Amino acid sequence: MKTLTKVILITALSALSGQSYAQQPSEHGMGMGSMMGGMQHDADPAKMTEHLKKMQAHMLQMHDLSNKILAETDPKKQQALKDQQLEIMKAHHMEMMAKHQQKAGQEVDHSQHNKLNNVTK
């Protein structure tokens, strides 16, 4: 019983200590919203729904392939499914990186614009 109490106490304390490492919003105001492709909470509801539907479709596709991989008994077919899943993951990763680079470029453009405004004033 004492061991169980210690485990529960340690688990609770470790969960609370993890909150101190929570992401702080940057100067651009992007906190947790950046995890959703930079969608802000005040974004257009139609765009938000479209974005979430795309995320859902991707997740379902990945889960479907995972289930097929686990169910497949033929090692060659299982490896082919793993390769297919890996290619989808690579494509998704590249898409996200391109969006990230695009946003980073926009932030640089804004900072350059702000520097020019400060010089001309």
pLDDT tens readout for residues 20-79:
555 555 544 444 444 555 555 567 899 999 999 999 999 999 999 999 999 999 999 999
Question: Range of 88's domain?
Answer: 74-121
Assess whether pLDDT exceeds 90 at residue 9: no
Domain count within the chain: 1
- As given in the structure block, the two tokens for residue 87 are 């290619």
Residue 69 lies in a domain: no
Residue 67 lies in a domain: no
Element of type H or E holding 101: helix 75-120
Buried b (16+ CB within 10 A) or exposed e, 108-120: eeeeeeeeeeeee
Count of all residues that appear for the chain in the document: 121
Residue 119 lies in a domain: yes
Across 23-27, 37-41, 82-86, 99-103, least confident range: 23-27
Residue 84 lies in a domain: yes
The amino acid present at 73, given as its one-letter code, is T
Assess whether pLDDT exceeds 50 at residue 106: yes
Assess whether pLDDT exceeds 70 at residue 93: yes
